[in-house]
Amino acid sequence: MHFRGSLSASVSILVLLGAGAVQAQPQPVQVELQQITIEGEATKPPEQGAPGVVETEGFVTKKTRSGTKTNTPLLEVPQSISTVTQKQLEDRKPQALLDALNYVPGARTGAFGFDPRYDSFTVRGIDLTYTGVFRDGLRQINSPNGLFRLEPYGLEAINVLKGPSSAIYGASSTGGIVDLITKRPLDYDFREIELQTGSYDRIQGAFDISGRATEDGSLLYRLTGLARSAGTEIDAVDDDRVYIAPAFTWQGENTKLTLLSEYMDSTTGGTVAYINTYDGSNSTGATREFGGDGRFNEFRQKQGRIGWEFEHRFSDVFTLHQNTRYSQLETNQEYIFGGYPGLVQEDTGGIVSDTYLVSNFQTGAVSHQVLTGVDVSYLDYTSWAGYGYTTAFPPDIDDQIDDFEQTQTLVGLYMQDQMEIGPWRVLLGGRHDWHDSDFSGTTTIDGTPPTVSAVDESQSDGKFTGRAALSYITEWNIAPYISYGTSFTPNPGTVIDGSVAVPTTGEQIEVGVKYDLPNANATLRAAVFDLKQEDAVIYAVVSGINRQTQLDLTSRGFEIEATASLAEGFNVIASYAYTDVEIDRLTAETEGNTLSSVPYHMWSIWADYQFDDGFAKGLGVAAGVRYVGSSFGDNLNRPILDNEPRTLVDASIRYDLVNLDPSLEGMRLQVNATNLLDEVKQVCSSNFCYWDEGRKVIASLRYRW
């Protein structure tokens, strides 16, 4: 890592001219030094984040644009926000989004056991899989079987906003959003290559290079790439991918334009499920018999994105931002479950664009930072699915054919005012969205004659969402706050009865306190919340296939999080979450029950220590413990499917090889283990049971220069 800059100093020095008692009055002498320019190289930690987007120090986040779309210190944002920083990503080496979220309070991962196909998770008991994942502040489009996969190596950070954010982000979950921040070009030379190997014949190579493309730094570049060949704990399921992400930044005195792009081709298994035993239509648990067939179990996904972030500063008052991205996704999923085959092919494409003006001005004693914007998104997907009812091989999938197409258009106008009145902070925001959806398709069932049913349905509606919050910033860096927000989320696809899924709406009230410890790089956050959601989408297994269904629910809980990165080389993140999710409407048998696979209690701690001197200089050791409390395995809350509590241990050790030999400067050897003690138990969700992912160990050798 390199740094180029200039140092100019004008120093006034008082020189006391003394010759014993002869000199009675000292005389001042002014000495002015000429400007000195230093050209050189220095280490600059890459985990500091991207200024203006996310700014971190080790495990601790100072600012992030995700909270309010402005560069506001997190202490002053009246909302619960957790960040997985670049330092955490480097130390923990997550292989998927779910791995990265394991230490975020209130985030439930692993509800469907081992499943590399989708990043399925909840926050505060609310499913964010389809409607809560954003990329660089823009909604990530998807279709029922077309979910963009994530390569963590391509990320700068992950911001998790808890609670409704529709007032500025539009279509998003009541539980919050997970904003994935892409690596951006750096204004200094950065070079990195990394090799990995480990469990299940894993072989991976990755590189990340960045720097100035022009001598004056007006044009920057970054190129990140990865290739992997790997198996998994199921022989019939691969985990292969090729990933490449070019990025460029052009910057002038008042204008900045960043181009971000990505292409990934990945292959995993079409099914990863195990055969369940049943009592009538209700599961009684999972067997250890894999339900698929390795001869027909490939799930291949090709995805690409290209877009830009534009920023122009007109004056000290006005700054214009525009972020736009086009995304395209193709999936081909082959599977056999319980002897019966299926094939699902989906093509998903769309564009998302957000344009907003930030205005800074004063009215009397009140400072304003006003956000006014408009965003537009368009989604178009086609889905073809074939199912068979014969165990013959090669599979015959002509017994039932589903052929669907859907388009969705969203237009939103919004305004937000962040007001500062002495120590008080007031946030008011409002938005109106217009939503149009057209869904058409047919289902054909083989027979004599074939049975054909058609669906042709349009939706057109609008919704106002908003949020209001009040916080008080004390001189001791303690900031209590209260906030209220609402959400609106259109849903792709159909539900169990064949009708088109209707939009989800919700509201939440949150009361919390934030504390930045004085003279220390450490924070403490705590919040209580009461959240209600109507027409929420969850999944139920019907004839071995996940089907969308909708329900009303109430989620209440409490979260606390402590994060610190201290000068002594010690880093820690610790959290506890209590979540109680009650079903308000689903079926008569489930009303008032607890939502399946959402534990009441979860806590975790990850601690890391780096030795900076002595015989162990360059050695870093870390360990983490994750506790997932008991939960129900179905929405009927039958005791037979209760999920037992489990405690999972992760660990890491690393060593900077320069301490062995100066010629090895920049090289680091690291070993990471997840579920180190191989704690594997059954986990059930929505009346179907899975198994936890077992122990996985990955060794990496990194060279950075």
Predicted confidence at residue 29, as pLDDT, reads 43
Average pLDDT, the chain: 90
Strand, helix or coil for residue 24? coil
Predicted confidence at residue 143, as pLDDT, reads 87
Please determine, for residue 24, whether its predicted confidence score (pLDDT) is greater than 60: no
The pLDDT confidence band at residue 366, using thresholds 50, 70 and 90, is: very high
pTM: 0.90
Q: CATH classification of 46-704 is 1.10.3720.10, yes or no?
A: no
pLDDT tens across 184-218, in order?
A: 999 999 999 999 999 999 999 999 999 999 999 99
pLDDT tens across 593-614, in order?
A: 999 999 999 999 999 999 988 8
**C-alpha distances out from residue 150 to 12, 96, 416, Å:** 56, 6, 31
Predicted confidence at residue 5, as pLDDT, reads 39
Helix (H) or strand (E) holding 314: none
The tokens 């289902």 sit on which residue? 443
- Cα–Cα–Cα angle for 175, 177, 182, rounded to 5 degrees: 160
φ, ψ for residue 131, nearest 5 deg: -120, 5
Contacts of 356 (CB under 8 A, 6+ apart): 69, 320, 321, 322, 371, 372, 373, 374, 375, 414
* Distance of alpha carbon 288 from alpha carbon 284, whole angstroms: 13
**Exposed / middle / buried, residue 407 (Cβ in 10 Å: 0-12, 13-18, 19+):** middle
Q: What is the dihedral of CA 623, 629, 634, 635, to 10 degrees?
A: -130
pLDDT tens across 422-464, in order?
A: 999 999 999 999 999 999 999 999 888 889 999 898 889 889 9
pLDDT tens across 89-142, in order?
A: 999 999 999 999 999 999 999 999 999 999 999 999 999 988 899 999 999 998
Predicted confidence at residue 541, as pLDDT, reads 58
84 C-beta neighbours (distance < 10 Å), count:
28
Percent of the chain scoring above 70 in pLDDT: 91
235 C-beta neighbours (distance < 10 Å), count:
12
The tokens 């926050």 sit on which residue? 123
* Distance of alpha carbon 402 from alpha carbon 476, whole angstroms: 61
Contacts of 281 (CB under 8 A, 6+ apart): none
Percent of the chain scoring above 90 in pLDDT: 78
Give per-residue burial for 32-68: e unless 16+ CB within 10 Å, then b.
Answer: eeeeeeeeeeeeeebbbbbeebbbbebbbbbbbbbbb
What amino acid occupies position 47?
Answer: E
Predicted confidence at residue 8, as pLDDT, reads 35
